[in-house]
Amino acid sequence: MEIIRSVSELKEKVAHLKADGRTVGLVPTMGALHAGHISLVDRARRENDAVVVSVFVNPTQFNNAKDLQTYPRTEEADCALLREAGVDIAFIPTVEEMYPTEDTRVFDLGEVAAVMEGPMRPGHFNGVAQVVSKLFSFVSPDRAYFGEKDFQQIAVIRRMVELEKFPVEIVDCPIKREDDGLAMSSRNVRLTPENRAVAPLIYKTLKKSVEWARDHSLEDTRRLVVDELNACPGLEVEYYEIVDPLTMQPLAEWSTPHNGCARGCVTCYCGDVRLIDNIKYER
């Protein structure tokens, strides 16, 4: 595996791969890698001739300075995992390399960014669009891989791809969970042992709500999740919305027309760690 830190070298290496007729899969990450990331890499490995993984804690998508400062950074361990997973190129730039000048682009992300994480984290999705569009223009990947834990983020990236007309296939990959159901996340390492013990209740409650939804209204199902999670000491729901899986717009009733299976998206504080998760309602 080659570790590349400069944009020009990255472009040169990718140009060689493409000149040899090889397809390229890109897995954008912010490092602190875990088995969830590696499942994206494995899929990219199976579906492409070469795999590039970017490891970059992108400052423009953090709207909270403390969150940026405390975001885990584990480059050595990340490189060991990526090498073992058979990655061809790890792209690990500095902030100055990614943003030699301030990125002032404002993307018209529309309705998919106007709900849930959008208003809760102003500027977050624009920052994601900035960094992912830069990565796409450097690598011109055939496919790019994103985890469904950040369900709304995938819709935002699809919108950015549509705006910028990148010829890339966006591949969404299922959430990887710990044995007790907690969605894998780089932020989980910040949970105290007490918080870690209650965090699996998030997924347990989401699963219970899928059963409950069979003979309850959408609003009752939404309430169940909010009330049951808020009743657990150590957990506090920021929002729970049951949304259209493409437009991200909250649904009022199960019968509201939508594009496929409704998705329940939760953001919940566990102590001072903000965790997100989601579940599909196949009713």
Annotated catalytic residues are 37
Whole-number minimum distance, CB 29 to ligand PAF, in Å?
A: 5
Pairing of strands 235-243, 169-173: unpaired
Taking CB under 6 A as the criterion, which residues in 42-61 touch ligand PAF?
A: 58, 61
Which pairs with CB-CB distance under 8 Å and at least 24 residues apart come from 64-68?
64/121, 67/274
Q: Name the residue among 123, 134, 124, 142 with its Cα closest to residue 93.
A: 134
**Lookup: tokens for 198:** 């209650």
The correct pick among 128, 160, 243, 273 for binding ligand PAF (CB under 6 A) is: 128
> Residue 235 belongs to what H/E stretch?
strand 235-243
Tell me whether residue 140 or residue 198 sits nearer to ligand PAF (CB atom): 140
31 binds ligand PAF (CB under 6 A): no
From 81-89, 124-132, 169-177, 231-239, span contacting ligand PAF (CB under 6 A): 124-132
150 binds ligand PAF (CB under 6 A): yes
132 binds ligand PAF (CB under 6 A): yes
Tell me whether residue 27 or residue 225 sits nearer to ligand PAF (CB atom): 27
Whole-number minimum distance, CB 128 to ligand PAF, in Å?
A: 5
36 binds ligand PAF (CB under 6 A): no
The residue number whose beta carbon is nearest to ligand PAF equals: 28
276 binds ligand PAF (CB under 6 A): no
**Total of residues contacting ligand PAF (CB under 6 A):** 10
183 binds ligand PAF (CB under 6 A): no
113 binds ligand PAF (CB under 6 A): no
Backbone angles phi, psi at 261, to 5 degrees: -75, 130
Whether residue 49 contacts residue 23, with contact meaning beta carbons closer than 8 Å, is answered with yes
> Residue 137 belongs to what H/E stretch?
helix 124-139
Q: What DSSP line would sit under 10-50, residue for residue? A: HHHHHHHHHHTT--EEEEEE-S---HHHHHHHHHHHHH-SE
Residues 173, 178, 184, 189, Cα dihedral to 10°: -160
Q: Rule CB under 6 A: which residues touch ligand PAF?
A: 28-30, 58, 61, 128, 131-132, 150, 153
